[in-house]
Amino acid sequence: MSKSLPKRSEDYSLWYNELVKRAGLAENSPVRGCMVIKPYGYAIWEKMQRVLDDMFKRTGHTNAYFPLFIPKSFFSKEASHVEGFAKECAVITHYRLKNAEDGSGVVVDPDAKLEEELIVRPTSETVIWNTYKGWVQSYRDLPLLINQWANVVRWEMRTRLFLRTAEFLWQEGHTAHATAEEAIAETEQMLDVYADFAENFMAVPVVKGIKTPNERFAGALETYCIESLMQDGKALQTGTSHFLGQNFAKAFDVKFATKEGGLEYVWGTSWGVSTRLMGALIMAHSDDEGLVLPPKLAPIQVVIIPIFFNDAQLQQISEKAKQIKKALEAKGISVKFDDRDTQKPGWKFAEYELQGVPVRIAIGARDLENGTVEVARRDTKEKAAYPLENIENKVEELLEAIQTNIYQKAFKFREENTTKVDSYDEFKQVLDTKGGFVLAHWDGTSETEERIKEETKATIRCIALDTQPEEGTCMVTGKPSARRVYFARAY
Amino acid sequence: MSKSLPKRSEDYSLWYNELVKRAGLAENSPVRGCMVIKPYGYAIWEKMQRVLDDMFKRTGHTNAYFPLFIPKSFFSKEASHVEGFAKECAVITHYRLKNAEDGSGVVVDPDAKLEEELIVRPTSETVIWNTYKGWVQSYRDLPLLINQWANVVRWEMRTRLFLRTAEFLWQEGHTAHATAEEAIAETEQMLDVYADFAENFMAVPVVKGIKTPNERFAGALETYCIESLMQDGKALQTGTSHFLGQNFAKAFDVKFATKEGGLEYVWGTSWGVSTRLMGALIMAHSDDEGLVLPPKLAPIQVVIIPIFFNDAQLQQISEKAKQIKKALEAKGISVKFDDRDTQKPGWKFAEYELQGVPVRIAIGARDLENGTVEVARRDTKEKAAYPLENIENKVEELLEAIQTNIYQKAFKFREENTTKVDSYDEFKQVLDTKGGFVLAHWDGTSETEERIKEETKATIRCIALDTQPEEGTCMVTGKPSARRVYFARAY
C-alpha cells in the first residue's frame, strides 16, 4: 500500500473515489462515462449476483436474454417511457467504418446508414414486451416470470464510479400476470427480496416505500423502492420494483384469453438492482483505513499472514497455516494464505484492511510455541489470541458476529440520523447540519415537492410502507397531511 | 407439442431452425440480426457458463468487466485488427433523441452529436490493452490473467440463431505475460480447456489445431482452434485461442520493468467461446424428434411422468414419484415431476423428447403393484422396467452411460466422415457426396487456399496439432507438402 486514504471527515467524495480505486474495485475508463470493474470489485459483484439469482429462482423466476438494441419506433410506443429515457440514450446510426480517403485512419461510412436508428437499451421493457406478445396467448401462459442479467446504457453527464455511470450492469425482472392483484403481489414480493438481500447480505438497513408520482419510473403506475443512508448523511436508492399496470401490454398489444373466454390485456411488473449496490456497500460501512465488507459478500473472508524472520520459521508456520486454511475451507469459508516474502507483514496488514477482509489471522514463531494465533477483526479492529484447537468454529462464529455487528452499526447510524421535524426552518437546519433522513409532513402536491427540491436539494425518498397515519400540516404550505414522508439529499 | 419437426434428411437447415424455436431455445427478434435467448436455451447456456467459469478459475483466472463502447481512435491503433472488424460494426454517433417538430414521434437530436464516434465492442482487445497499460509496470504484475463474460456485436448480414448473430454472448480471456513462451503456453492451455469442455461436457469430439494465416484472428500471430463436425457433414469452429505476440502491447504501449532492470513490451493472448457453442451442441446430437442433450448440460436430467386415470391413482403415484425425486436430487440430479392434468402422457412424452431430457421415468398403477417404473433414455430410445429399489443409483449410472454414448456416437460419426484424399477430383467428389472433414495435402500458400475456397466452398479448418508429418504433393498444384490439413465446408 502506498499513502493513506483521504479522511471521510475531510473530503467524503474524494475518500470514496480513492477507496474504490485503491482497493481494486473499479476505475474510470477513457471511454466517456464508462467504468472498468476490476477483478476484486467484480468478485464482490459476482457474489451479489449469485445470492440474488438464487433468490429469484426460489421465487419461481427463470433467466433469459433479450437484444441490446431497441429500434427507435419500439422505444416510442409507450409515451411516458420515451419521455423519460430519450434525453440520455446512445444512438446507433451506422454499421460500418471505412478507411479515410486522406489516409488519416477510419471514418464512418456514409453509405452504411441504418434505415431506422437503434437505441442501446437503457432498460428493456419495450423490447421485452414486444417479445411477450408472441409468448402470451392464454391464461395458461401466465404468469410469465423472467429475469435478465445485462448491461444497460444511460447517457449520464456527471458520472461517479458505481453510483452513476453511463454503462452499468444490472438485473431486470419483467413479469406478466392475469390480474392486477397478482402483479401488485409480485411487485411487493420482489421489493421484499431486495430488502432481504440488502439487510441480510449487504448488512445495509433499508426503508421500504413507494415513490411520489414525480419520482416514478417512466411508464409505471407505482414505483416501490428501498432507500438506505450513507455515512455522509445522504440517501441512496438501492433498488426499485415497478407495478406497470397494463401500460406496456397496451403499447405492445399483449392480450390473453381468460378462463372465462374473454380477451384481456395482461398486467406487468419490472424490478431491478444494479452495480449501484456496490456503491451502497462501500459507502455504508467503510472507514478511513479502507473497505469494511460484510462476511457474506467478502471474496476473501479470512486472510492468514505469517510473521517470520527466516525460512525455517516460515516453513513451520506454513504447515500450521495450511492446516487452519483447510479446516476453515471445510466449513465453506474462503481463505487466503499470503506467504509472499516480497512484502512485510505490516504492509500486508494495511493492504487487507484496505480490501476489507473481515478476519485476519497472524501467526508468528511465539504463537506456535503457545498453541495460539492472533485473530483481528476488520470491523472493530479488536485483536485477541485464539487457541488453535477448534479455531474453525471460533472463526465461523466470529464471522457471524461481524456480519451482525456491521448491520447493527449501520442501523444505529440510520436511527440516529433520522429526524422528525415540524417546520420548514427546522427542516433546512437539519439538512445543513446533520443531514440524514428527515421525516416531515407534506401536502401531497408535486408543486410543493418541487419547491422543496429547488430550495433545499432534498427530495422525497419515499412514503414508507410501515408509516403510521398521523394527522399534521405540510411544513411548507400548512395544508393538511395524513402522514410523514422520508426526505433526504440523495445520490 | 404441435406438429412434428421437419426431417434432417429432407431439410437440415429448416430442421435446425424449427428445433431451436420449438424446443424453447431461442427465436429471432425484430431487432435486425439479434436473437432472444429463451428461458430453456438460457438455462443450458448458464450450465455451460458455470462449468467454463470454474475451469477458468481453476487455471488461475479472475473475472472483470470492461466498457461496451470503444472510441474509434482506439479501434484503429492495431492496423490488422481494425481492418478485420471495421466492416461490420455498430457505430454510435449521437447521445440523445428529441420530439419531432411535426409531432410524428422522436428523432435523433442533431445537437447531440458525439465528437468522436463510439464502436460497440466486436471484441475487447483494444479497450482492455488500453487499460492494461495502467496495470502493468513491473514483472511482479505479470502474468495478468483476466476473463470477461459479455455481449459483443458484429454486424453480420446473414444471421442464424446461435451460429451467427449480430449480438452474441461470450467470454473473452485477455492475458499478459513476461515472455513469449509463457504466452504460448497460456494459449495452448486454454485450447486444452476448451477441448476438455467440448468433449467431456458437450460430448462433442474436436480436432485441435492452428489456423492458416488467412484465417487468423485480426491482430494475432497464431490462432489455435477447436473444430467439430455437425451431422450434415459441415464443420463448426467451436473455440479459438490467440497468441497475440507483442502486437497489442506495442499498439497501446504496455511495457514492464524486467527482473534484470530492462524495459520490455509484454506478450499477450486472447481466447473465447460464445453462444455459438449452443449451435454445436444442438447440431451434433439432436434427431428428428428433437434435442438430445448430454446429461452434464441438461437443465432437467430426469423427468417423471405419472400415468393415471383418476385422482386416487394420481395421488398414489405422486407419493412414489416424490420419493424418487427426492432420492435422485440427493445425488445432485435435477428432476422435474410433471403432474399436470391439462396434458396427456403421450403429449408430455413428445414434449420432453423435443426438449432432449436425457431420462424419462413413467409410473402407472401397474408399476406401483410390481414395484417397478418404466425408464426410457432419450439417446437410444430404449425402455426398460427398473425395480424401485436403489433406483437412484441405477439412474445415476444410466446418466453416465448416456453421456458416454452420446460422445461415442459423435466420435464414430466423425471418424466415418473424415476422408483422406490424394487428388483434387476426389476432394470435390467427397465434398459433394458425403461431406465431412477431408484430409489432403496443400502447398502452404494462400493463393491455393483461396482458389480451393472459391472453387469448392471448402476452407482449411486447421492444421491439426497431432498430425504426423507425411511427405506428399499438393492436390491442386502438385508442389511439395509436409503434412495433410483438415478441409471442410463450414458454418
Q: What is the pLDDT of residues A434-450, one digit of tens each?
A: 999 999 999 999 999 99
Q: Do the Cβ atoms of B131 and A95 come within 8 Å? A: no
Residue A147 pLDDT: 98
Residue A1 pLDDT: 44
Residue B2 pLDDT: 56
Tell me the chain A residues in contact with residue B151 when contact means C-beta distances shorter than 8 Å.
68, 150-151
- The answer to whether the beta carbons of residues B360 and B328 sit under 8 Å apart is no
Q: Which three cell numbers stand for residue A348?
A: 500486508
Q: What is the pLDDT of residues A83-129, one digit of tens each?
A: 889 899 999 999 999 998 888 789 999 999 999 999 999 999 999 99
State chain A's mean pLDDT as an integer. Answer: 96
Mutate to test the interface with B, among A25, A40, A63, A65 (most CBs of B within 10 A): A65
What are the extents of the domains in chain B? 12-91+119-285, 300-396, 418-488
Q: Which of A30, A39, A151 sits opposite B68 (nearest CB)?
A: A151
Q: How many helices (H) and strands (E) does chain B have?
A: 14, 27
What spatial distance separates the first Cα and last Cα of chain B, rounded to whole Å?
Answer: 29
- The answer to whether the beta carbons of residues A19 and A1 sit under 8 Å apart is no
Q: What is the mean pLDDT of residues A408-434?
A: 97
B contact residues 139-178, partner A, Cβ 8 Å cutoff: 140, 146, 150-151, 153, 155, 167, 169
Band (pLDDT 50/70/90 cuts) for residue A179 is very high
- Taking alpha carbons only, the member of A52, A55, A44, A16 closest to residue A358 is A44
CA distances from A159 to A17, A42, B70 (A): 11, 19, 18
Name every residue whose Cβ is closer than 8 Å to that of residue A58 and which is 6 or more positions away in sequence. none
Distance to chain B for A229, nearest Cα, Å: 27
Residues, chain B: 491
**Is it the case that residue B118 has pLDDT exceeding 60?**
yes
Other residues' Cβ atoms within 10 Å of the Cβ of residue B458: 23
A contact residues 61-100, partner B, Cβ 8 Å cutoff: 62-76, 82, 86-98
Q: Which three cell numbers stand for residue B437?
A: 472433414
User: Could you check whether A12-285 and A300-398 share the same CATH topology?
Assistant: no
Rounded CA Rg of chain B:
26
Band (pLDDT 50/70/90 cuts) for residue B90 is very high
Q: What is the mean pLDDT of residues A48-64?
A: 98
Q: What is the mean pLDDT of residues B397-418?
A: 98
- Taking alpha carbons only, the member of B210, B194, B215 closest to residue B274 is B194
Q: Which range (A228-242, A319-333, B102-116, B447-461) has the least confidence?
A: B102-116
Write down the residue that cell numbers 411548507 correspond to.
A476
- The crossing angle, in degrees rounded to 10, of helices B39-58 and B276-285 is 110
Band (pLDDT 50/70/90 cuts) for residue A78 is confident
Q: Do the Cβ atoms of A29 and B67 come within 8 Å? A: yes
Q: What is the mean pLDDT of residues B413-438?
A: 97
State chain B's mean pLDDT as an integer. Answer: 96
Q: Distance between CA atoms of A239 and B126, rounded to whole angstroms?
A: 34
Mutate to test the interface with A, among B40, B97, B151, B259 (most CBs of A within 10 A): B97
Tell me the chain B residues in contact with residue A95 when contact means C-beta distances shorter than 8 Å.
88-91, 155
**Is it the case that residue B391 has pLDDT exceeding 70?**
yes
| CATH 3.40.50.800 given to domain A300-398 | yes
Q: CA-based angle A81:A87:A90, to the nearest 5?
A: 100
Residue A49 pLDDT: 98
Q: Which of A27, A91, A98 sits opposite B95 (nearest CB)?
A: A91
Mutate to test the interface with B, among A27, A40, A68, A88 (most CBs of B within 10 A): A68
Q: CA-based angle A147:A150:A155, to the nearest 5?
A: 125
Q: Which three cell numbers stand for residue B128?
A: 482492455
Q: Do the Cβ atoms of B68 and A93 come within 8 Å? A: no
Q: Which range (A67-81, B209-223, B268-282) has the least confidence?
A: A67-81
Q: What is the mean pLDDT of residues A184-200?
A: 98
Tell me the chain B residues in contact with residue A146 when contact means C-beta distances shorter than 8 Å.
39
Tell me the chain B residues in contact with residue A92 when contact means C-beta distances shorter than 8 Å.
90-93, 120
Residue A440 pLDDT: 98
Q: How many CA atoms lie within 13 A of A481 on its CB side?
A: 24
Residues, chain A: 491
**Is it the case that residue B75 has pLDDT exceeding 70?**
yes
Q: Which CATH number fits domain A418-488: 3.30.110.30, 2.40.240.20, 3.40.50.2000, 1.20.120.530?
A: 3.30.110.30
What CATH number has the domain spanning B12-91+119-285? 3.30.930.10
Q: Which CATH number fits domain A12-285: 2.60.40.1260, 1.10.357.10, 3.40.50.300, 3.30.930.10?
A: 3.30.930.10
What CATH number has the domain spanning B300-396? 3.40.50.800
Write down the residue that cell numbers 416531515 correspond to.
A440
**Is it the case that residue B79 has pLDDT exceeding 90?**
no
Q: What is the pLDDT of residues B172-192, one digit of tens each?
A: 999 999 999 999 999 999 999
Residue A2 pLDDT: 56
Contact with chain A for residue B37, Cβ under 8 A: yes
Reduced to 3 states (helix: H, G, I; strand: E, B; else coil), residue B420 is strand
Q: What is the mean pLDDT of residues B361-377?
A: 95
Q: Distance between CA atoms of A451 and A453, rounded to whole angstroms?
A: 5
Q: What is the mean pLDDT of residues B433-456?
A: 97
- The answer to whether the beta carbons of residues A217 and A242 sit under 8 Å apart is yes
Q: Which of A62, A119, A130 sits opposite B43 (nearest CB)?
A: A62
Mutate to test the interface with B, among A85, A106, A114, A151 (most CBs of B within 10 A): A106
Q: What is the mean pLDDT of residues B371-383?
A: 97
Q: Which letter does DSSP use for residue B243 in this model?
A: E
Contact with chain B for residue A180, Cβ under 8 A: no
Percentage of chain B beyond pLDDT 90 is 93
